Copies of this chain bind each other. A is one copy, B any other.
């Protein structure tokens, strides 16, 4: 069975809405000289993924601004909470973060007392990562903000069925492409 594009988007009330230029373009006056033609660009999945991801990350930062957490830092805290006692390499690899960037990020989290590095008892060369009590508390507040502000708005924009379909397709790409 296949479904038409309009069927998939009906729940989000999408097709009726006329496309409008992004906030940034309008604010910076590009419209004055006429919008640029995106041409094939709007058909490129990589470009569309990047634009959507930037928008979602911007909103994430706004929603948790009181806690000063980036999306990547939030991912690390979530993963540490779910997988206590794992080492740096495992966490970095799972998140696809390069080692030097990950070490810098951990330095930041540790200096704010959100997580701690401890020597592994099995392998003295390896560092085990754990959340501190403060890390757990900040994570709990962040999860609440993300759920009630950020994800709730995305849900409203796309509709729960489309949101689930989107997540599934993104997972397929991440896993199999």
- Chain A residues with CB under 8 Å of chain B are 1-5, 7-12, 14, 17, 19-20, 22, 24-25, 28, 30, 33, 36-57, 59-60, 71, 75, 78-79, 81-83, 86, 89-91, 93-94, 96, 143, 146, 150-151, 153-154, 157-159, 161-177
Contact = CB atoms under 8 A, between A and B. Distances in A.
B93 A45 contact: no
A8 B154 contact: no
Contacts of A55: 173-174, 177
Contacts of A153: 177
A32 to B, nearest CB: 10
B174 A38 contact: no
Contacts of A52: 49, 169-171, 173-174, 177
B53 A53 contact: yes
Nearest to A25: B93
B10 A177 contact: no
